[in-house]
Amino acid sequence: MNAQPNNPLYGITLEKLLARLVEHYGWKELGRRIDIRCFNWEPSIKSSLKFLRKNQWARDKVEALYLNTRFDRA
């Protein structure tokens, strides 16, 4: 397994990334920031993961939002 020290998303699964965004923003705000149906109509982690794994353009938007979000440090 190759380490990717320059990749800020290395070691973060798509599920963890999405769950963190939902925890931080909530589905309503996430759907406002990234207008895709799986965030705005009966949202769930499962359906969103299915969509994001099939649509790279949407995954790119979610990853970019994650990287640009300042999460509170506890």
* pLDDT at residue 3, as a whole number: 67
Report whether 31 contacts 39 (CB < 8 A). yes
Averaged pLDDT, 25-45: 96
Query: Is residue 9 domain-resident?
Result: no
Query: Comparing 58 with 71, which gets the higher pLDDT?
Result: 58
Q: What is the mean pLDDT of the chain?
A: 92
Residue 43: band (very low, low, confident or very high) from pLDDT cuts 50, 70, 90:
very high
Domain that holds residue 59: 14-68
Query: Is residue 6 domain-resident?
Result: no
Tokens encoding 48: 């969103």
Tokens encoding 49: 């993961």
Averaged pLDDT, 50-73: 93
Answer left, alpha or beta for residue 45, where phi above 0 means left and psi between -120 and 50 means alpha.
Answer: alpha
Measured on CA atoms in the order 34, 37, 43, 44, is the torsion positive or negative?
negative
Task: Quote the percentage of the chain above a pLDDT of 90.
Answer: 78
Counting the structural domains of the chain, the total is: 1
Enclosing H/E stretch for 1? none
Query: Is residue 45 domain-resident?
Result: yes
Report whether 19 contacts 44 (CB < 8 A). no
The CATH number that applies at residue 24 is 1.10.720.30
